[in-house]
Amino acid sequence: MMPTLRQARPVASKLPRPGKTVAVENVRPDKEEGVQVKRSPSSPQGGVKKRSAFGDLTNAHKNIQPQKKKDGQKVAVKKTKNASQSGTAKNNELNLKKTLKKITAEELVSEVVKEERLITEETSPPKQKMLSFENITLLPPDVEDIDQDGSEDPFSSSEYALDIFSYMREREEKFVLPNYIEMQDDITKEMRSILIDWMVEVQENFELNHETLYLSVKMVDHYLAATVAMREKLQLIGSTTVLIASKFEERCPPCLDDFLYICDDAYRREELVAMEMEILQKLNFDINIPIPYRFLRRYAKCAHANMETLTLARYICELTLQEYDFVQESASKMAASCLLLALKMKCLGGWTATLQYYSGHSANDLIPLVKRLNFLLTEQPNSKLTAVRNKYSHKVFFEVAKLPPLDLLMLDTVLTKEQ
């Protein structure tokens, strides 16, 4: 019987160490349900010492000491001679006259230059305006331009969105994963699933972005495809990839001691730092790996899907993280298939021309993967892998994990219309 990974304790349950403070989160009872709030993770080491931004960087006010008046003594007042004062006043008057003369001369020259420019423009022939088609993208008549309203959202990058996702689809070919589990002598598919389930809990405890979770899972797979690892190092690999992904995705990533804590102090600081260096070297420091989560958000915009439908697609996509059989699927195809299945489960239509244009996948290409995803939903859940289902059973995620999957015959019927 192979040992399972060490169970991580919740971050908030650790008692404070002597001499150190623990940050307490403010609870707002009037907060609406169904709205996710991203809070920066609290470190077991306590809060950072606050200081003024500029108060500690200058000593301008330290040398200024008020001159005190002693009892019975008068404060000495420096006196200046009248001659020196009158001389200074005369110099100021002369400098003022010179400045006025200089400004007058500069204004005169400026007016002359303006007149010459106007004369030149009137006498020269009119220039023909050139029409530039550099930033104009011609779309098919039945395809909607989903980036035309992006100017209202500064985070949508509508001007570069098409180029960005085209570039990400090109990079997918660079990160194709082989069947690496065959070369692993001490790690099995079940061990990998348990590790990913634990990483989902880490993402929840630290309240990290979903992009961080997807990227860390990708790095685990690519590292295991490049080297043979032992089972006692598997949790160290998982926590290290979450640390690297947090530095890449998060505004306030957790500190290194937090990751040592969630591993129940099973590893030393030196081991975590060494593993971080080894993973980055094995991946050639190229960790900008395409993930399905980014494609899914864009495809949902093409389908005008509401938040509940998008969350259902995200739930299906996150379930595949634990399944090794879906490792070799590309990120864009996985995102498109999850969204198509979610649309069918919610009876919201099919794969439109707009979705096919922006995703690059037709409905016929997605049907085999959609059937596999629906079969994944109908399977009896594993009692050891409950993190994703429990997470999406919450009201914050619209309880999408409780939705019944489609019947296989009904799915075949609705997918036939897409062919």
Compute the mean pLDDT over every residue in the chain, rounded to the nearest whole number. 79
Q: How far apart are CA 226 and CA 219, in angstroms?
A: 11
Cβ-proximal residues to 224 (8 Å cutoff; 6+ apart), any chain = 180, 181, 184, 187, 192, 237
Tens of pLDDT along 371-381?
999 999 999 88
How high is the pLDDT of residue 183? 94
Query: 255 with 224: CB under 8 angstroms?
Result: no
Domain membership of residue 327 as a residue range = 292-416
Cβ-proximal residues to 318 (8 Å cutoff; 6+ apart), any chain = 200, 210, 213, 388, 391, 392
Q: 189-202 as b/e, with b when 16 or more CB fall inside 10 Å?
A: eebbbbbbbbbbbb
Check whether residue 275 and residue 297 sit in a common domain: no
Rounding to the nearest 10 degrees, give the CA dihedral for residues 389, 235, 338, 353: 150
Query: 202 with 262: CB under 8 angstroms?
Result: yes
In degrees, rounded to 5, the angle at the alpha carbon of residue 296 between the alpha carbons of residues 293 and 301 is 140
Query: 343 with 304: CB under 8 angstroms?
Result: no
Tens of pLDDT along 88-115?
666 666 665 655 555 555 555 566 555 5
Check whether residue 269 and residue 301 sit in a common domain: no
Domain annotation covers residue 160: no
Domain annotation covers residue 65: no
Question: Tokens standing for 145?
Answer: 């331009």
Check whether residue 261 and residue 311 sit in a common domain: no
Domain-ending residue, one of 251, 282, 313: 282
Question: Tokens standing for 126?
Answer: 């009119």
Q: How far apart are CA 316 and CA 389, in angstroms?
A: 10
Q: How many domains does the chain have?
A: 2
Q: How far apart are CA 194 and CA 324, in angstroms?
A: 11
Q: What is the mean pLDDT of residues 234-249?
A: 97
Query: 315 with 397: CB under 8 angstroms?
Result: yes
Side-chain half-sphere exposure of 393, counting CA atoms within 13 A: 7
Query: 289 with 332: CB under 8 angstroms?
Result: no
Domain annotation covers residue 387: yes
Question: Tokens standing for 290?
Answer: 């395409």
DSSP 19: T
Check whether residue 328 and residue 371 sit in a common domain: yes
Q: What is the mean pLDDT of residues 248-265?
A: 93
Q: For 106-110, 172-176, 301-305, 413-417, which range has the lowest pLDDT when averaged over its residues?
A: 106-110
Give the CATH number for residue 403.
1.10.472.10
Check whether residue 407 and residue 344 sit in a common domain: yes
Domain annotation covers residue 119: no
Domain-ending residue, one of 282, 307, 338: 282
Q: The whole model's pTM is what?
A: 0.69
Cβ-proximal residues to 366 (8 Å cutoff; 6+ apart), any chain = 333, 336, 337, 340, 351
Q: For 58-72, 302-316, 387-401, which range has the lowest pLDDT when averaged over its residues?
A: 58-72
Check whether residue 355 and residue 276 sit in a common domain: no
Query: Is residue 360 very low, low, confident or very high in pLDDT (cuts 50, 70, 90)?
Result: very high
* SS3 at position 36: coil
Q: How far apart are CA 237 and CA 232, in angstroms?
A: 10
Residue 320 predicted with pLDDT over 60: yes
DSSP 67: -
In degrees, rounded to 5, the angle at the alpha carbon of residue 189 between the alpha carbons of residues 188 and 191 is 65
Q: How far apart are CA 67 and CA 56, in angstroms?
A: 25
